[in-house]
Amino acid sequence: MNEQARQYVEEFMSRLIARNPGEPEFHQAVREVAESLAPHIVASPVLLKMKILERIAEPERIVIFRVPWLNDRGEIEINRGYRVQMNSAIGPYKGGIRFHPSVNLSILKFLAFEQTFKNSLTTLPMGGAKGGSDFDPKGKSDNEVMKFCQSFMTELQRHIGQDTDVPAGDIGVGGREIGFLFGQYKRLRDEFSGTLTGKGRDWGGSPLRPEATGYGTCYFAEEMLATRGESLRGKRVCISGSGNVAQYACQKASQLGARVVTLSDSSGFIHDPEGIDAAKLDYVMELKNIYRGRIREYADRYPSATYHPGQRPWGIACDVAMPCATQNELNGDEAQTLVDNGCRCVVEGANMPSTPEAIRIFQQHRLLYAPGKAANAGGVATSGLEMTQNSMRLTWTPEEVDERLHAIMRNIHEVCVRYGTQEDGYVNYVAGANIGGFMKVANAMLAQGCV
C-alpha cells in the first residue's frame, strides 16, 4: 500500500471509529475492507468524490426493538431485537438472524457489512443485512423458543418482505426457529411468501439449504487446493464448531476423502484421530440437533476420541483448518501453531473467525487462506436460490441446486484469483474477495446517485 492509500485508510478509520464508538468488531471488519480497497479508491476520483466507501460503511437503516415474552414459569423476560439493513444497492436486504447472548450492535453491524460483500460475490441480486437478539436459546424449552420467536417476529414483520428484506438463520437460528418465525410472519401478514429462507422442504424451502454453507466451504477449499495441484483427499482436517456449518463441512470433507479429526463447542473440543466418519457424524447431528447436547458427550460414546475442556482445536496437527464456530475464534498464537504443525490451507466456514494478527501470519507464510465472505458464501447463495424457487413457485432437485452451488463457489474462487493475485503469484483471497465484492455494489451505487 502506498503512502497516500495508507493515509486514506487512517483518516477514514478515525472518522468511522469516532462515529461508531465502542464497536470493535465493526471497526475490525471495516478496516480489513478499507485496507484492501484503499489503493483502488485513491486512484479513482469518482469513488472518492462519490464517497462510496463512506456510504457503504453507514447502514441504510437500523431497527432496535423490545422483545418481551413469558417463560415456562409465567415470568416476563425481556430481550433486545435488532435488524441492520446495511445496503440495498444490488437487491433486497438479505442476511441471517443470530440468537446469542453476545449479540450487540457492533457484532450485527460487522456481520451486515460483511454480508454486503459476500452477497455481491454470489452474483445473485441480494443486498446486505443482519439481525438478531441477545436471547440465549441454550437451556430453553421448545415452548420458550417459540414464544420468543413469535414476539420477535411481531415487531420484525413490519420491516421485512420478499422484495424488501429476507432474513434467514445464523448462530442459534436453525430449522426450528425459522419454522416459528415463518409461522408468525404468515399469521400476521396473511401471506405465504418467500420472506424467510431456510424454510422446511415441504413449505417453501430449497433442497440443500441446510447443507449449503458447509458444502460450499469444502467446494471452495477444493478450488484453492487445486491451484497447488492438491485436493482434500487424504488430508487431515481440523474443524471448530459443531453446529450447522461444522456438521456439513465435516460431511462433505469426509465424502471428498479427508479425515476430519476435531469438532468443538464453546466448552471445549473433541479430538478423534481415527476420523469422524458418517456414522459418528449421524450421532453428532442427533446429539446437537435433536437432544441439544454438548460435544463432550462424543468422547463418552467413542473411545477413540479425547475431550479437551476449555480449549480450541488449533493445537492439533492438520493439513487443512476450517474454523466454523464464530468471530475471532482463532488468534495470532493459534495461527502460528497451525503453521508450525504443517497446516497449508485455512478456509473459513464462520464469519471473521481469524483475528487480523492470525490472517497476517497465514499470509506471511503463504498459506492458502480464504476469508468467510468468500468461502462460506454458499449458504446465502442457496438462500438466493430458495428465493428464486419461491418466486417461480417451483422446486429444483437436490442435484440441480448442488450443481448451481458448485458453479457459484467456483466463480467466487475465480473472482478472488482475478482480483487477488499478487506480482509474486500468491493469491491474496482477502483482497480478491473485498475488491470483487465491492465492484458490483460500488457500480450500482454510482449509477443510483446520492442515495
Residue ranges that bind ligand GLU, judged by CB under 6 A: 94-96, 168, 170, 197, 351, 379-380, 383
User: Quick one: 167 or 420, whose CB is closer to ligand GLU?
Assistant: 167
Determine contact, residues 112/95, Cβ cutoff 8 Å: yes
User: Quick one: 13 or 63, whose CB is closer to ligand GLU?
Assistant: 63
Determine contact, residues 218/247, Cβ cutoff 8 Å: no
β-pair type (165-168, 128-133)? unpaired
User: How far separated are the first and last CA of the chain, in Å rounded?
Assistant: 30
Beta bridge partner(s), residue 133 = 81, 99
User: Quick one: 94 or 259, whose CB is closer to ligand GLU?
Assistant: 94
Could you tell me the smallest distance in angstroms from the CB atom of residue 151 to ligand GLU?
21
269, containing H or E segment: strand 268-271
Give me the catalytic one of 130, 199, 373, 440: 130
**Distance from C-alpha of 120 to C-alpha of 412, rounded to nearest angstrom:** 10
Could you tell me the smallest distance in angstroms from the CB atom of residue 349 to ligand GLU?
10
Could you tell me the smallest distance in angstroms from the CB atom of residue 94 to ligand GLU?
5
Of 362, 69, 411, give the one whose Cα is nearest residue 220. Answer: 411
User: Quick one: 351 or 389, whose CB is closer to ligand GLU?
Assistant: 351
**Distance from C-alpha of 237 to C-alpha of 28, rounded to nearest angstrom:** 27
User: Quick one: 276 or 327, whose CB is closer to ligand GLU?
Assistant: 327
Identify whether 252 is a catalytic site residue: no
Which residue, judged by CB position, is nearest to ligand GLU in the bound state? 96
**Distance from C-alpha of 63 to C-alpha of 159, rounded to nearest angstrom:** 8
Q: Which residue has the cell 454458499?
A: 378
User: Quick one: 39 or 207, whose CB is closer to ligand GLU?
Assistant: 207
Could you tell me the smallest distance in angstroms from the CB atom of residue 119 to ligand GLU?
8
131 Cβ partners below 8 Å, 6+ apart? 81, 82, 83, 84, 95, 96, 97, 98, 108, 156, 167
**Distance from C-alpha of 355 to C-alpha of 331, rounded to nearest angstrom:** 5
User: Quick one: 59 or 96, whose CB is closer to ligand GLU?
Assistant: 96
CA distances (Å), origin 344, targets 34, 317, 391: 27, 11, 42
> How many Cβ atoms sit within 10 Å of the Cβ of residue 138?
12
Q: Cell numbers at residue 7, please?
A: 493515509
Of 238, 166, 234, give the one whose Cα is nearest residue 204. Answer: 166
Phi, psi (degrees; rounded to nearest 5) at 264: -150, 170
Could you tell me the smallest distance in angstroms from the CB atom of residue 59 to ligand GLU?
17
Q: Which residues are catalytic?
A: 130
